[in-house]
Amino acid sequence: MSIKHLLAAASVLLLCTGCASGLNSHQQAELKHFEARGQAVEEKNPGLGAALGILPGGGSFYGREYGFGIVNLLLWPISILWDPVSGFDAAQSINYQATKAHLHNQYERELNGLDEQLQTGQIDITQYTLSKRKVDQKYRYN
């Protein structure tokens, strides 16, 4: 296989896959807020993602960007220039999404519990309203 064919294949793979674009500024602030409140979920370690980016495709594979990982594997050692950043960004994105999903599930569970207490007469509408306000504040990001 010639170098032209290899580069063409790598280009096609690169165009067909995405790299982790990282979090926007609002998402970064939101994740920091959740971390400060002890609510963040860490499925992936961003530092480890960056460190693995030095290995051929390691950062991308760690960040579940398998197509991009193959391209970085083929383009190694040049991919060392961007794969650590990609691994870091992907890990942060995974953690952000996992945190949002976890908090949403907890929020829904607490609201469903309040609804059940209201329906069974364990609490009245005033207690329900006050408790719901507390739940909303607990899971709200400002």
Helix, strand or coil, per DSSP, at residue 16: helix
pLDDT digits (tens, 9 = 90+) for 10-61: 554 444 444 556 899 999 999 999 999 899 999 999 999 999 999 999 999 9
User: Amino acid identity, residue 117?
Assistant: Q
How confident is the model at residue 138, as a pLDDT?
87
What is the longest distance spanned by two Cα atoms in the chain? 75
How confident is the model at residue 14, as a pLDDT?
47
Q: Where are the domains of the chain?
A: 3-101
pLDDT digits (tens, 9 = 90+) for 124-140: 999 999 999 999 998 88
pTM of the model: 0.77
Beta carbons within 10 angstroms of residue 41's beta carbon: 16
List the one residue out of 47, 29, 49, 48 whose CA is nearest residue 37. Answer: 29
List the one residue out of 48, 73, 75 whose CA is nearest residue 62. Answer: 48
Distance of alpha carbon 106 from alpha carbon 88, whole angstroms? 27
pLDDT digits (tens, 9 = 90+) for 68-79: 999 998 999 898
